[in-house]
Each structure stands twice: as C-alpha cells, then as structure tokens.
C-alpha cells in the first residue's frame, strides 16, 4: 500500500518535479542499496539502486505502481540483481571456455613434446649436478626443507647450504638456457 507521502511525491513526480524525485531518492536509495548488497557486491548494488531510481524518474508519467512503492522498488532491485548475477555467470562461463580454448590451442602436441623433453633434460641436469649441490637442491626444491633443516641434516652451516643451492640453480639455468622461454611460459600458466 502506498503511503500518503509516497502518493503526494509520486503525483508531483509525474509533473517532473525534481524536488519530489530528490525526496524519493533520499528516502529509498539507502534501503535499495542495502537490499541489493544481499545479492551482489557493493559497487554493483550501488549501480542497481541508482538505475532503479533513474528508471522511476524516466517512467514517472506512467501509471506503473499499483500498490506499494517500496515493494515495487525492492522487486525491481531484486530482478536487476538476479540479472547481474546471471550476466556474471555467463561472463565467467565464456572466460572459462576462452581459457580452455587458448590452452588447448597453445599446448598442441608439439608443445607437449617440448614439455616432455624439458622434463627429461631437467632430470638429467639435476642428476649431473655435483653430489653436494644436487642433495641440497633436491631437499630444498622437492622436499620443501628449509636451509636450516638441510644444514642440520647434512651437518654443514646454513651459508654452505645456501651456496650449494645457488650454485645448483646457476648450473641448471646454464644447462637449460634453450628451454628458458618455455619455462617462463609454463610458469605464467
């Protein structure tokens, strides 16, 4: 049911009274924004509340509200919020398809062969490291041990462990320099 104040403001709004619109905006915008926040992010709720009030202004001459202005506005916010959610889901679905298409096209059979070759070369390069470098490198990179844990296990200083890992990385980088672009690409994915 429309309140007496709403009836008066809507009558004035039909006559393009900007002060009536301002009064309705100040009265209902906070409620519409808060209600919209139940469904969408704050930025979207703000836009939806503003669009709903703008729609009211643009359709001010039409007899569209039969019962309660507040119920009508809340229902409009609800529908707009659902539309926004649906748009986001469609966009997410499209983005997901796009990503999968890109990955499938980029990682063609030739690329998979290069990745397999890289994996084999990496294993060989690690195997060819000096024993002390290889041992520290594997403990750190593949067993997630800290430099301190490795030092304790090997009976050496933390600085020695740090040096061995740095040297192992330098040797591996030099050995696998031809694969650097592929490595960088894979790290981005």
pLDDT at 26 over 60: yes
Query: 56 CB contacts (<8 Å, ≥6 apart)?
Result: 13, 21, 24, 73
Question: Which has more confidence, 147 or 65?
Answer: 147
pLDDT digits (tens, 9 = 90+) for 89-119: 888 877 777 766 666 665 555 566 777 777 7
Q: Residues 10, 75: one domain? A: yes
84 is written with which tokens?
A: 């926004």
Domain that holds residue 63: 4-103
Domain boundary among 78, 103, 128: 103
User: Among the three residues 54, 75, 103, which one is the final residue of a domain in this structure?
Assistant: 103
Strands (E), the chain: none
Residues 113 and 99 in one domain: no
% residues pLDDT > 70 (the chain) = 85
Task: Please tell me the total count of domains within the chain.
Answer: 2
Q: How far is CA 148 from the centre of its chain?
A: 36
Q: Of 51, 77, 103, which residue sits at a domain end? A: 103
pTM: 0.51
Residue 153, helix vs strand vs coil: helix
Q: Is the pLDDT of residue 37 over 80?
A: yes
Residues 129 and 97 in one domain: no
Same domain, 15 and 79: yes
Tell me: do 94 and 153 sit in the same domain: no
């Amino acid at each position: 049911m429309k309140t007496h104040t709403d009836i008066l403001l809507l009558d004035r709004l039909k006559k393009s009274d900007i002060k009536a619109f301002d009064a309705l905006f100040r009265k209902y915008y906070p409620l519409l924004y808060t209600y919209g926040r139940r469904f969408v992010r704050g930025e979207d709720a703000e836009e939806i509340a503003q669009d709903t009030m703008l729609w009211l202004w643009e359709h001010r001459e039409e007899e569209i509200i039969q019962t309660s202005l507040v119920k009508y506005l809340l229902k409009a916010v609800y529908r707009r919020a659902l539309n926004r959610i649906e748009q986001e889901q469609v966009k997410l679905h499209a983005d997901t398809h796009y990503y999968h298409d890109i990955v499938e096209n980029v990682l063609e059979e030739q690329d998979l062969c290069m990745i397999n070759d890289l994996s084999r070369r990496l294993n060989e390069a690690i195997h060819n490291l000096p024993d002390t470098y290889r041992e520290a490198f594997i403990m750190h990179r593949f067993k997630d041990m800290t430099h301190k844990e490795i030092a304790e296990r090997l009976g050496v200083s933390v600085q020695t462990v740090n040096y061995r890992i740095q040297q192992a990385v330098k040797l591996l980088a030099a050995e696998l320099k031809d694969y650097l672009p592929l490595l960088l690409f894979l790290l981005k994915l």
